[in-house]
Amino acid sequence: MMFLEFAILGAWLPLVFGYLGTDGLNFSAIGQSIVLLAFPASAIVAVFFGNKFADRNFAAERFLAFSQFVSALTLLGMFAITDRTWFTLLMWVHCLFYVPTLSITNSIAFGAMANAKRDFGKVRMGGTVGWIVACWPMVFLLDNDPMTARYIFLLAGVISLIFAAYSLWLPHTPPNRDTQSVAWLKAVQSLAIPFVAVLWLVTMLDSTIHDTYFLWADGYLTSIGIQQRWVMPIMSVGQVAEIATMSALGFFLARFGWRTTLIVGGVGQVIKFGLFAFWPTPAAAIVAIFLHGLCHAFFFATVFIFVDEFLPTEDRSTTQGLFNLMSFGGGPIIARIVAPKLHEIYSVETDGQRFVDYQQLFQYPFFIALLATTIMLLAFWPPVKASSNEMI
């Protein structure tokens, strides 16, 4: 399940920013933001509609199958057309159906596990493998013609069709008709707990800069001499690191606890963006990409396990959706409004060629990562163990 879920995202997300720009569909900075906002805006819709709607009305696996089928049709449409208006519409429809499945798959997984703290890292690792596998066909599908990047949507669409069929064979997860209509409000009330509020804020900052990595890495890597066809395989180094880290995540959580594990993820973000900003070489970039995988496991995966243990669990999808709101909504909304404009500001056209000062660009996420990690060091002090009933 996780393999297919993240193979879809891994097929198109790393290259979409470049495809939208002057070398592809030639969207303006505002047009790029409108397209890119589809994903985080859908994360917000999912919290207040999609996840609760799924909880109360449908078996999770059936909701997943329908959503993936619609998503597949839109992805195949984005492959087939180059009209900017239709492309934008299809991206929004795709995201509105796909994004809720990120929480639904977590809910199915948590519902099937006896010990989420021990097992979730291993289960979620399947998603990382899926992302890696989705990267490698690009070596054969892409060439120096920027428009061949549209094949990312063909691959994602085929995977989504497969997932739609496979979803019907997942463990039956019946609807929870006793779910209270204010379940999302109870989840929001958990932000009154200081350490949860701090984690919410840091998640916003880290998810914002995490998104700039995907928006800028493609152009950055080609700017330092890496051929386009090798960009996604090289970026998959981060997923290899994530696999190694995910497989040991249960050990690290048991040995070092929530706070240290999350802070290590934050420090990795600082070093990663520092390498991009101050050491623009292929070797340094590969080290930074490796750290990206470590950061994802030690911070974002750990956040979801933390949420499952410490926040209300009456509505699993709604509870997971609260932090999905920030991880896939709030932070990325900021990134996708600001990043295209910053990219435009630091772009210069000379002799018909466009050059981007990526070293200046990556200083922004570097200093934000430094701020987020400092906040964690000073203000994030969760209890060693507590139940949500004791806190709320």
Which of 2-6, 109-113, 186-190 shows the lowest per-residue confidence on average (mean pLDDT)?
A: 186-190
DSSP reduced 3-state for 349? strand
Averaged pLDDT for residues 68-81: 96
- Among residues 98, 110, 107, which one has the least CA distance to residue 11? 98
Q: Write out pLDDT tens, residues 93-105.
A: 999 999 889 888 8
- Look up the domain containing 58 and give its range: 2-391
The domain tally of the chain equals 1
If one counts every other C-beta atom within 10 angstroms of the C-beta of residue 381, the result is 11
Lookup: tokens for 260? 């240290």
Segments in 58-179 forming alpha helices (H): 60-80, 84-98, 100-112, 116-135, 138-141, 151-167
Q: List 350's β-bridge partners, or say none.
A: 353
Helix (H), strand (E) at residue 354: strand 353-356
pLDDT tens across 165-219, in order?
999 999 887 776 555 555 566 667 777 888 888 998 999 999 999 999 989 999 9
Given a cut of 90, whether residue 38 has pLDDT beyond it is yes
Q: 118 or 71: which carries more pLDDT confidence?
A: 71
Mean pLDDT, residues 241-247 = 83
pLDDT for res 392: 38
Asked if the model's pLDDT at residue 226 lies above 80, the reply is yes
* Model confidence at 388: pLDDT above 60: no
Q: Does 287 have pLDDT greater than 50?
A: yes
Q: Full-prediction pTM beyond 0.85?
A: no
Distance CA 355, CA 306 (A): 42
Residue with tokens 């979409």: 16
* CATH number of the CATH domain containing 13: 1.20.1250.20
pLDDT digits (tens, 9 = 90+) for 360-378: 999 999 999 999 999 999 9
In this structure, are residues 72 and 161 in contact, taking their beta carbons and an 8 Å threshold? Answer: yes
Are the C-beta atoms of residues 103 and 232 closer than 8 Å to each other?
Answer: no
